[in-house]
Amino acid sequence: MVNNFNLEQEVPLWSLDRSGKKIAREFVFVDFKQAFRFMTLCAQYAEEIGHHPDWSNSWNRVMVELSTHSAGALTKLDIQLAKAMDAFASEV
């Protein structure tokens, strides 16, 4: 649950939604190819951990929302995936 996390410290580039059940971030890249590379890295990692983002892509932008639907709240998996996505964004 969100109370167990210091979101500003753990994932400072992510925003908590009004419900407190999701975090969101928009990633902006140089071009579509870079955005797609980012999404590919994220998809592979999401499969490994069995936790998948709600996301969309428009050319060089990837909009992401993370929440653990089965828990109806944020969990450590959301924070883990957010941190991995932040790292992947800096790699591409």
Domain span at residue 77? 2-91
pLDDT tens digits for 23-80?
999 999 999 999 999 999 999 999 999 999 999 999 999 999 999 999 989 999 999 9
- The mean pLDDT value for 10-24 works out to 95
Supply the pTM of this predicted model.
Answer: 0.92
Q: How many domains does the chain have?
A: 1
Q: What pLDDT score does 4 carry?
A: 64
CATH of the domain at 67: 3.30.1360.20
Confidence at 14, pLDDT banded by 50, 70, 90: very high
Side by side, the strands of the sheet bearing 23-28 are 15-16, 23-28, 61-66, 54-58
Confidence at 1, pLDDT banded by 50, 70, 90: very low
Contact of 4 with 40, CB cutoff 8 Å: no
